[in-house]
Each structure stands twice: as structure tokens, then as C-alpha cells.
Amino acid sequence: MQTSFTRLDKELPTPRRSHPGDAGLDLYARVDVTLEPGERALVPTGIAIAIPDGHAGFVVPRSGLAFRDGIGVVNGPGLVDAGYRGELKVILINHGQDRVRLTRGDRIAQIVVVPVSMADFVEVESLPDSQRGSGGFGSTGR
């Protein structure tokens, strides 16, 4: 599937996979950012994309940044709807103990474009039974 994008900053690399077969394409920081422990920042990526109808983009953390520096995506995964045409921005958070400096051009997150089911909610008086029922958090034990 081809997904159209526009480079808003021609000096940054285009989104790309690090390895053949990878699901996510790397997104790059358009600006330098310093994150203190617990601090959040909205980081522009320098691109805008046109996700096809029936699909969504999910912005997810990079595992290396998460492991090495404690950097995550606050609303991870971040949802990019098919109709959005503005600049992609990533809400990063420093979960680590140390200040982290990210430099313009650093890989900060990945985007995965996936098909989505366009479910319509229909209100009913009661839901059908299931084996699980209302068992939620911790209901299956340790």
C-alpha cells in the first residue's frame, strides 16, 4: 500500500524502515529537544501524510530509546486518523532518571499504518453473555 506524504522540512530524512519487513517507519525530530525526568514535549516531525480511508496510523515508541533512555510516547500509541493532513507531531515523555537530549534528525518514534474496522456503535438494552463476562483487570490471576 502506498501512502502519500509531504516533506515540510526537506533537510530531514524521509520516513523509512530500518530493516526490510519492519512494520514501522522511523519518524525524525524536526527540532532539538531536552527532556528532564518526567517532562513531556510535543516534537514536530517535518512531514504530513495522507493515510488512506479505512486505515489509521499508530505512532509508537522506538524500543532503543525506551530501553536506553526511558523515552516513550505519552499517548502511545498515538492515533493519526485518515482525514488528518497537518504535520505529524509526537508527544514524548522522559520516564527515565536522567535528562535526555534529542537532536534535530534523531529518530524519535515510528508510525505503523494499519487497516481498521469502521465499527458503528448500536445501543442495546443488554449485551449477549460471554464466557469472560465482566471480568477485567486481574481477573485471570497472576
pLDDT, tens digit (0-9, with 9 covering 90-100), for 76-111: 899 999 999 999 999 999 999 999 999 999 999 999
Where in the chain does DSSP place strands (E)? 4-7, 25-28, 33-35, 40-50, 55-60, 71-73, 78-80, 87-94, 100-102, 107-115
133 pLDDT band (50/70/90 cuts)? confident
Give the pLDDT score at 139: 72
What's the pTM value of the predicted model, to 2 decimals?
A: 0.89
pLDDT, tens digit (0-9, with 9 covering 90-100), for 36-88: 999 999 999 999 999 999 999 999 999 999 999 999 999 989 999 999 999 99
What would the mean pLDDT of 6-28 be, rounded to a whole number? Answer: 96
Q: Which residues lie across from 28 on neighbouring strands?
A: 107
What are the structural domains of the chain?
4-10+24-115 (2.70.40.10)
